[in-house]
Amino acid sequence: MIRKHLPPYVETRRGRKGQTYHYFRRKPGKPVRMHAEPGTPEFATEYALLLSGRPPPPPGRSFKGLVRSYRESSRWAPLAPRTKADYAKVLDFIVERLGDLPADKMRRVDVVRLRDANADTPRFATYAVQVLRILFEHAKDIGWRDDNPATGVSGVKGNTAERQPWPADAIAAYRAAADGKALLVFELLHGTGQRIGDVLRMRWDHLADGGIWVRQGKTKARLWVPLTPALAAVLADTPRDGLTIVTAHHGRPMSYRGAHQIVMAVRRQIDAEAYDLHGLRYSAASELAAAGCTDEQIQAITGHTTTAMVRRYAGAARQLVRAKEAQERRK
């Protein structure tokens, strides 16, 4: 092995046919093959990543290599499991469609074309642009690009109806028709105003002082949310057959799919398929707004990180209250 003119921990090995290969090795770790030539900016980037304990980008600058590198990076590791699952759908699509194409050559116009080619599914097209934006930020991190061609590219405005909070009659109908775990999931969502992933992670030992402690998977915020009377009553009747409050068979935590299925069965029964699980988060914010709560008070329950999002959730309820007050004054 040859070390001459190489930085610390880098050595050169010769292959059977006389080729030279560069390896990074810091004991007790295993040697890691380096692909760039010493003295180049790419080599400096690889070396810096290896020194920090991160894997170097794969050889070549294809989308397949970029996606693989992103999934091994510090950007990917801390993401919540549900976020990883959502991103993975787009990343798999990118590898399938663009896999062998050079990621460092993609232009803004190409991002727009990819978005428009999927405009018949507005939600996916918009999400694809968002994931590409994240992917190109990683490309900048590893020295593949100096720019992000997805920055500023807007999403697709679809014709789908905006998500609505559950109306009072649908909430009453669900409570009348549901029991057991279908009612438990519903009351946890409606009573706490949290996302379904956070609800399914709630445990019995999180209950304290008439409320429940929540660690939000998306924002990492830690909240204490007081129980509503309806939620407290359901919890009192729920057997503690597992670590989590909502369980499947043999006390195991219930999956998102399982929760969706048991709630959907009741929604179909009461003709409320238009109102989904996340709509109950809207309902909680709307009811708090209608009760006169400030943005900060609503945030204390829902954990929204911006007042803009609170206003999006609570705006319609506040408009209704103010309209009624205004008409009363006309009298």
Tokens 């499947």, residue located: 248
| pLDDT tens profile 71-109 | 988 889 888 887 888 899 999 999 988 888 889 999 999
d(CA 219, CA 195): 11
Predicted TM-score (pTM) of this structure: 0.59
d(CA 139, CA 148): 8
Listed range (156-160, 243-247, 300-304) with the worst mean pLDDT:
156-160
113/304: higher pLDDT: 113
161/151: higher pLDDT: 151
Tokens 């929604």, residue located: 267
| HEC per residue, 118-145 | CCCCHHHHHHHHHHHHHHHHHHHHCCCC
Residue 2: pLDDT band (50, 70, 90) is very low
pLDDT computed for residue 304 by the predictor? 82
Q: Of all residues in the chain, what percent carry a pLDDT higher than 90?
A: 43
Hey, which residues does 22 pair with through a beta bridge? Answer: 12, 34
pLDDT computed for residue 34 by the predictor? 82
Most confident segment among 13-17, 42-46, 177-181, 310-314: 177-181
| pLDDT tens profile 130-156 | 999 999 999 999 889 999 999 999 888
pLDDT computed for residue 171 by the predictor? 95
Q: Domains in the chain, start-ordered, CATH in brackets?
A: 1-56 (no CATH), 60-160 (1.10.150.130), 168-330 (1.10.443.10)
pLDDT computed for residue 268 by the predictor? 95
Whether residue 57 is predicted with pLDDT greater than 80 in this model: the reply is no
d(CA 217, CA 282): 18
